[in-house]
Structure 1
Amino acid sequence: MSFISAMLLSAVSSQVTPANNPQIGDIHKETIVNAVAVKRVEPVYPVQAARKGQEGWVELSYVVNENGEVESVLVENSSGIRSFEKAALNAVKQWKFDPATQNNKPVKQCQNQIQMNFLLNNAEVGVSRRFLGRYKKLITKIENNELEGVPEKLEELRAINLGNFTENSHFWTAEARYYYKTGEKEKELEALNKVAYRGKEYLNRDMYVASVVRATILNLEKNKLKHAMLMFDKLSQTKGGESHTKQLFPYIDKVEAFIADESKQIWVQGEISERSIWQHDLARSAFTIANVQGSLTSLEVRCANQYSVYDVKQGLQWNIPQSWQRCRVYVHGSKGATFNLVETSSTEQTPSTGKA
């Protein structure tokens, strides 16, 4: 575990363009009353998915505007079935709300997340024999380091159905294990995040706990500190995770101190996904973008009651009022484009070079 301490204390030189400092106005000076749904349209279960016996889930983020309408809907994550994503998007776009108010005046409510589960009434519980046989053979190949042809086998396993949440959860553990063996940590973490948030009810306890522990460590390695703390909280609430929680606690304590020490920067590597988006939960209230390789088209900041879209400019520092709270950044661009998001001090005029 010593690499975590080293990660927190080390500095690696990297040049950042001098930053400008636009101040974003603080609108949170009165009590906010949250938006209230007055019309919710249920998603239509895709016919082909139902015929195949497929189940799944979709996580969405959306904004409720001053008129109570839903706008700027994004798919943040899903079980991977595109027809479910389309159905969820179509449903949420039809929702209506009594808008949020500030001092009796309608305002936007900008950080809203919803998970839509697609479940069949008569779906099989557990895994099918067809899935189980292929899964066991695949895991054996991975554990024996016989990695040639594994990506194709993973796609075959995905294609045969992944008929329910139990099969989905086991598939993600296989996917994570393969990426562990190949050293593709970002893809491993993506699979483990799905296990951590969706697999607790569908995996045996030891497998689930091991997945959450690994996800916590990877988030720490990659300086996704806010997410690491969320994973740690999930682990601490899981029976069977007590010894791991005790082992990780000193490092989480250091993370909290590190976030509070604004003399150190938090460097996070970003890469645009197949959905042409990348997202990050901010641990601090200021950040800049650096070392862009490829095309980035726009940047969104979504907080509790503030939503803003910007052009992406390297070296420009975004300063977010503390009162906005719970801010998440979305970067849009071309698949594969890479960059660094650097969380800095809100009072810092020119970010120093270095990587924390």
Structure 2
Amino acid sequence: MLIRLPILVLLSCSFPAFAEQAEIARLIETTISAKPIERVPPKFPLRAAKQGQEGWVKMSFVIDKQGNVVEPIIEDSSGIKGFEKAAISAIKQWKYDPAIQDGKAIEQCKSTVQLDFRLQGKVGVTGKFYRKYKKINDAIAEKNYLLAEQLLNELLDKNLWNMYENDWYWLADAIYAKATNDKERELNSVSRASNGGEKTLGNDNYLYILQRKFSLQIQHQLYAYALKTYQQMQKVKGSEELIAQYTKYANNIKALISSDEILIRKASINERGHVNHQLTRNRFQLSNVQGPLKELEIRCDNKRSRYTAAEDSIWSIPANWGKCNVFFKGAENTKFNIVELANKV
């Protein structure tokens, strides 16, 4: 089971000295992240084990002042509901020594984890999966998109995948989405296909997936995520030529984030009833809300707040709250714009 632990956060600030004094930097606030005491492993669903299924679940959660995990949110998964239920059940039993700020227990509000569900001895794809995968690829190559869609749906309905097959399925779906110019679907698929990395897809396919992911994230104004994908590319063996090509785009993103230009992301509530956005600035507002948007929750490193989703409000987040994600909740397919405004110093 692969677990990604939260990062230690240190918040510090230096003040300018008076003219007649030497400049002194003062540590005014130290935050020590929560430390795990007990992390109960999820129970592998019996039905999934019998069918040879494997999968993964990515979650965000809050660690309260007593060290309990509260309000877990499933950000994404390999698509198997049994694994999602098992992951939620397990994580609610985890215990931590709470985060400490200036000697006092505080909430740790921006924690993430991925739980992997693996069976021993499962390596590579099965012959049955390979034959279906080849038919999908052949149909896409022949531009028989109706057949390709049908075959993809048949394979998705069964969900009889191991980890390798999961990544290869979403690779095929991404290729289909690109061929049919469905950029939103392609972004979703490349994000899922990139989960296993080089081990499952091989070097060339993995670099292709990251390249498409980076490009699509920029097109969807997901700038913070695009910079993370760029960092992923840098770690892949043989990516030097690709990095040289994309460094200028990464630098352009950083310059855009630092500018006074307004950043707008078109967002839509997913089938789970929420959508997550990582802020690049500390001020934002909503516009062009189409549908029931119930509320938003801002989760920063060690602060969080919940609000009604008022379109005429501007949210200003103190810089010392650290990096922040916003979870928007509402009815599926509710559409709206997330407008990031220039930072106020």
Conserved 8 A contact 2:139-2:147: no
> Per-residue CA shift, 1:213-243, capped at 9, x if unaligned?
0110111111111111111111111112221
Q: Which residue in 2 is equivalent to 1:71?
A: 70
Matched to 2:71, the amino acid is: S
The 3-state SS of whatever aligns with 2:121 is coil
Q: Which residue in 2 is equivalent to 1:306?
A: 303
Residues 176-195 of structure 1: matches in 2 within 5 Å? 176-195=174-193
Q: Which residue in 1 is equivalent to 2:330?
A: 333
In the alignment, the residues of structure 1 paired with residue 183 and residue 331 of structure 2 have an alpha-carbon distance, to the nearest angstrom, of 21
In the alignment, the residues of structure 2 paired with residue 268 and residue 161 of structure 1 have an alpha-carbon distance, to the nearest angstrom, of 32
Displacement after TM superposition at 1:75 (Å): 0.5
Q: Which residue in 2 is equivalent to 1:49?
A: 48
Q: Which residue in 2 is equivalent to 1:62?
A: 61
Q: Which residue in 2 is equivalent to 1:156?
A: 154
Larger relative contact order (C-alpha < 8 A, sep ≥ 6)? 1
In the alignment, the residues of structure 2 paired with residue 184 and residue 161 of structure 1 have an alpha-carbon distance, to the nearest angstrom, of 22
Please point out which of 228, 241, 255 is paired with 1:230: 228
In the alignment, the residues of structure 2 paired with residue 43 and residue 161 of structure 1 have an alpha-carbon distance, to the nearest angstrom, of 20
The 3-state SS of whatever aligns with 2:301 is coil
2:312 pairs with 1:346: no
Quote the sequence identity (%): 35
Conserved 8 A contact 1:276-1:334: yes
Q: Which residue in 1 is equivalent to 2:20?
A: none
Conserved 8 A contact 1:223-1:268: yes
In the alignment, the residues of structure 1 paired with residue 246 and residue 12 of structure 2 have an alpha-carbon distance, to the nearest angstrom, of 38
> Per-residue CA shift, 1:141-166, capped at 9, x if unaligned?
11222111433311211244443111
Question: Moved runs in structure 1, 4+ residues, more than 6 A?
Answer: none
2:281 pairs with 1:284: yes
Conserved 8 A contact 1:206-1:240: no
Q: Which residue in 2 is equivalent to 1:130?
A: 128
Matched to 1:169, the amino acid is: D
Q: Which residue in 2 is equivalent to 1:140?
A: 138
2:67 pairs with 1:82: no
Conserved 8 A contact 1:52-1:161: no
Scaled by the length of structure 1, what TM-score is found? 0.87
Conserved 8 A contact 1:297-1:312: yes
Scaled by the length of structure 2, what TM-score is found? 0.89
In the alignment, the residues of structure 1 paired with residue 187 and residue 86 of structure 2 have an alpha-carbon distance, to the nearest angstrom, of 27
In the alignment, the residues of structure 2 paired with residue 162 and residue 206 of structure 1 have an alpha-carbon distance, to the nearest angstrom, of 26
In the alignment, the residues of structure 2 paired with residue 301 and residue 151 of structure 1 have an alpha-carbon distance, to the nearest angstrom, of 38
Displacement after TM superposition at 1:204 (Å): 2.0
Displacement after TM superposition at 1:27 (Å): 12
The 3-state SS of whatever aligns with 2:146 is coil
Displacement after TM superposition at 1:197 (Å): 3.2
Q: Which residue in 2 is equivalent to 1:353?
A: none
Conserved 8 A contact 2:59-2:114: yes
Residues 252-291 of structure 1: matches in 2 within 5 Å? 252-261=250-259, 263-291=260-288
Matched to 1:105, the amino acid is: K
The 3-state SS of whatever aligns with 1:43 is coil
The 3-state SS of whatever aligns with 1:308 is strand
The 3-state SS of whatever aligns with 2:286 is strand
Q: Which residue in 1 is equivalent to 2:6?
A: none
2:218 pairs with 1:220: yes
Aligned length: 321
Conserved 8 A contact 1:209-1:240: no
In the alignment, the residues of structure 2 paired with residue 164 and residue 206 of structure 1 have an alpha-carbon distance, to the nearest angstrom, of 21
What RMSD in Å do the two structures reach over aligned CA positions?
Answer: 1.7
> Per-residue CA shift, 1:115-138, capped at 9, x if unaligned?
111011132x11111000010010
